[in-house]
Amino acid sequence: MASIFTVECPSCGQSFPCHTELWQAGYDLLCPFCQATFPQERSPRIVSATGDVVRNDTGAAEGM
Amino acid sequence: MDSLTLDLREFIKAVEAGQPDALVHVDKPVDPAAFEVTAVLQQLEDAGRFPMAIFHQPLNLRGEVSRFPLITNVFADRARCAQALGLPVTEAKFPLSIEYGRREQDRIAPTVVTPGESPVKDVVKVGDQVDLREFPIVRHHHMDPAPYIDMTPIMRDPDSGAYNAAYLRTMYKGPRKLGLHMSPRHSWQITRKHEDRGLPTPVVIVVSHHPAFFLGTLNVAPFGDDDYEVIGSVAGRSLRLVPSETWGEDFMVPADAEIVIEGVIPPGVREVEGPFGEFPGTYGPQRLRWVVDVTAVTHRRDAIYQDVFVGHPDDWIQGGLPKEARIYNRIKGVVPSVQAVHLPVSGVCRLHCNIAIDKKVDGESKQAAMIALGEVDMIKHVFVVDADVDPFDDRQVLWAIATRVQADQAIDMIKNAKGNTLDPSQTDPIMTTKMIVDATKPVRRPFSERILVPDDAKARVPMADYVRESAPAAAGE
Ligand SMILES: [Zn+2]
Q: Name the minimum distance, in Å, from the CA of A47 to any CA of chain B.
A: 14
With bands split at pLDDT 50, 70 and 90, how would you rate the model's confidence at A57? Answer: low
Q: Residue A48 sits in which domain range?
A: 4-55
- pLDDT attached to residue B378: 94
Q: How many CB atoms lie within 10 A of CB A12?
A: 12
Query: Domain count of chain A?
Result: 1
Q: Name the minimum distance, in Å, from the CA of A37 to any CA of chain B.
A: 10
- Say if A63 falls within a structural domain: no
pTM, entire model: 0.94
- pLDDT attached to residue A1: 56
- Closest alpha carbon to B84 in B347, B341, B318, B327: B318
Chain-centroid distance, C-alpha B319: 4
Residues of chain B with CATH 2.30.110.10: 8-313
Whether the pLDDT of residue A58 is over 70: the answer is: no
- pLDDT attached to residue A2: 59
- Say if A64 falls within a structural domain: no
The closest CB to that of B286, out of A1, A2, A16, belongs to A16
Question: How many CA atoms within 13 Å lie on the side-chain side of B428?
Answer: 9
The pLDDT profile of chain B, 477 residues, written as one tens digit per residue, is: 344 789 999 999 999 998 889 999 999 999 999 999 999 999 999 999 999 999 999 999 999 999 999 999 999 999 999 999 999 999 999 999 999 999 999 999 999 999 999 999 999 999 999 999 999 999 999 999 999 999 999 999 999 999 999 999 999 999 999 999 998 889 999 999 999 999 999 999 999 999 999 999 999 889 999 999 999 999 999 999 999 999 999 999 999 999 999 999 999 999 999 999 999 999 999 999 999 999 999 999 999 999 999 999 999 999 999 999 999 999 999 999 999 999 999 999 999 999 999 999 999 999 999 999 999 999 999 999 999 999 999 999 999 999 999 999 999 999 999 998 889 999 888 899 999 999 999 999 999 999 999 999 999 999 999 999 988 776 554
Residues of B in contact with A19 (CB under 8 A): 285-288
In angstroms, the Cα distances linking B297 to B244, B245, B294 are 10, 9, 8
* Interface probe with B: pick from A1, A11, A34, A46, most Cβ of B within 10 Å: A1
On whether the CB atoms of residues B124 and B300 are closer than 8 A, the answer is: no
Burial of B378 per CB tally in 10 Å (0-12, 13-18, 19+):
buried
Tens of pLDDT, residue by residue over B259-294, are 999 999 999 999 999 999 999 999 999 999 999 999
Q: How many CB atoms lie within 10 A of CB B454?
A: 8
Whether B286 and A21 lie within 8 Å, measured CB to CB: no
Domain B8-313, CATH class in plain words: mainly beta
Question: How many CA atoms within 13 Å lie on the side-chain side of B433?
Answer: 8
- Say if A28 falls within a structural domain: yes
- Say if A29 falls within a structural domain: yes
- Say if A61 falls within a structural domain: no
**Helices B227-235 and B94-105, packing angle to 10 deg:** 140
Domain B333-439, CATH class in plain words: alpha beta
Q: Could you tell me the distance, in angstroms and rounded to a whole number, from the CA of residue A48 to the centre of ligand 1?
A: 19
Q: Is the ipTM reported for this complex over the cut 0.95? A: no
The closest CB to that of A18, out of B146, B285, B422, belongs to B285
Q: How many CB atoms lie within 10 A of CB B171?
A: 27
Chain-centroid distance, C-alpha B349: 9
Question: For residues B103-112, b (16+ Cβ closer than 10 Å) or e, as one string?
Answer: bbeeebebbe
The closest CB to that of B275, out of A3, A17, A28, belongs to A17
Cα–Cα distance for residue pair B136/B70, rounded to 1 Å: 7
Residues of chain B with CATH 3.40.1670.10: 333-439
- Closest alpha carbon to B103 in B218, B235, B239: B235
